[in-house]
Amino acid sequence: MSAIRFVPANLVLATIGLALATFMQVLDTTIANVALTSITGNLGASSEQGTWVITSFAVCNAIALPLTGWMARRVGEVRLFIGSVCLFMFTSFLCGIATSLPELVFFRALQGFVAGPLYPIAQTLLIAIYPAARRGMALSLLAMVAVVAPILGPISGGWLTDNYSWPWIFFINLPIGLFAALVVWSQLRNRPEETEQKPIDYVGLALLVLGVGLLQVVLDKGNDLDWFESEFIIYSAAIAVIALMAMLIWEMTEEHPVINLRLFKHRNFTFGTIVLVLGYSAFFGLNLLLPVWLQTRMGYTAVWAGLAAAPIGIVPVILSPIVGRFGYKVDMRLLTSLAFLAMALSSFGRAEFTLGVDYYHIAMIQLAMGLGVALFFMPATTILLSSLSPREIADGSGLATFLRVLGGSFASSLTTWWWHRQAAVEHARLTEHITPYSAATQHYLDQLGGPTLQHYGRLEELLESQAYMISTVDYFALLGWIFLALMAAVWFAKPPFLSAVSIRR
């Protein structure tokens, strides 16, 4: 990077363009989830086949993320960002006009791949164009996007599908993307960039595609196919593990690796990435389970479940600029620890939920959780990028984002598996107490009018609801302890955090 920082003509406008494009991309990771029923019904596919609309995007997005640094070095960061936005708009249009499920899955795969560089390159460009004392605000802005967009995805997706039709969840990207591309190009097209035309690491690239692609498929389809009861999952997992191990060995010895794994020699990058990935995974698992539980066990609609979860984004919207502006005055490890403490306390608060919990109580706990979220992303990102040189930022941001997304995929699969499995265990335990000779059982049946098949069915429904309630609060408590453990883990990072990407006067 040049010693003289490039300053766009309008810093605010450039920031809006970068943030909007990133918001559009992150929103698309969840916006299609609530539209699957409409999509499969319209395209004549089964619900199981429809999940590939989600899986295809996730797989190709995961493959593209670690390639970000390599692609940026070859074509330049601004060109890569603009190209990704334009291709994202084009593939969104193709998704909207798809006439069959195979077409839609293919276009979603393309959309996921071209979306890969958007978040890490936006992060890199914001760091590059902001003065040192205001870079925290830039990182906080992207952190806010990363939190708010996935929450708004199901809400906006449900509203567009109900009021218009499912193609509009893709068409909405066109005006947003066009505006973002024009703004970023007008503001950053003259930014000087150095490119490299080094040999392509075909072996590393092939192993990456095979290993990461199959691993993402395993994580996305594991629950549907009953994990290792499926030969497809067994073979896919085995090939993924072998490919990833081979990739690690190859990339560590390759002169021009497609993924720069040598970044892990930096202590702060290693521990910062660990904290970011594990913290985000726990956060992701919590916010995945809550809407599912509300919809399947508490009778909430998709929109109301989304609205119950949405308050988590209010505090980050308010506090992120403040944290970004003044956070550099405090030890980043302390801010991150405070974030995990707030997340832990809110998780333990959720562990007190019962079947009688109301919307207000749920929303207030989500609002409190937002304090932890507001203090988490910017400090964690600052720590992991603090020891990297300017030329390593794109590599580091892409690799950390990839591992964060992969951690979210693990959290998604493990959360669903654990929730159903624990509910089955609790159901069996509760059933042991239901016998014709139990006074409590007889009293409950008498209240209903006697021991009939219909009343036994009511009793079974109650047992199932209680089993899932116990499973839910146990999972929230487990996440609370994980957040507390991460409070200690962040202190393995070593100051100073003042470098090319951190905050200084």
Span 81-136, pLDDT tens digits:
999 999 999 999 999 998 888 899 899 989 989 998 998 899 888 888 887 767 77
pTM of the model: 0.80
At 454, the pLDDT band (50, 70, 90 cuts) reads: low
Q: Express as a percent the part of the chain with pLDDT over 70.
A: 91
Q: Which residues contact 272 (CB under 8 A, 6 or more apart)?
A: 380, 381, 383, 384, 385, 386, 400, 493
What pLDDT is attached to residue 445? Answer: 67
Residue 71 has pLDDT above 70, yes or no: yes
453 contact partners, CB below 8 Å, separation of at least 6: none
Q: Which of 64, 126, 73, 66 is closest to 91 using CA atoms?
A: 64
Least confident range from 59-63, 282-286, 420-424: namely: 59-63
Give yes or no for residue 459 having a pLDDT over 80. no
Task: Say what the pLDDT of residue 2 is.
Answer: 43
Average pLDDT over the chain, rounded to an integer: 83
User: What is the pLDDT at residue 453?
Assistant: 66
**Measured distance CA(459)–CA(43) in Å, rounded:** 39
State residue 498's pLDDT score. 57
pLDDT band at 448 (very low <50, low <70, confident <90, very high): low
- 501 and 332 in contact (C-beta within 8 Å)? no
Q: What is the mean pLDDT of residues 186-198?
A: 82
Q: How confident is the model at residue 446 (pLDDT cuts 50, 70, 90)?
A: low
pLDDT surpasses 50 at 504: no
Are 498 and 329 in contact by the 8 Å Cβ rule? The answer is no
Residues 241-265 have pLDDT tens digits of: 999 999 889 888 887 787 888 888 8
Query: Is the pLDDT reported for residue 473 higher than 90?
Result: yes
Which span out of 11-15, 126-130, 493-497 was modeled with the highest average pLDDT?
11-15
Residue 154 pLDDT greater than 80, yes or no = no
In angstroms, the CA 377 to CA 385 distance is: 12
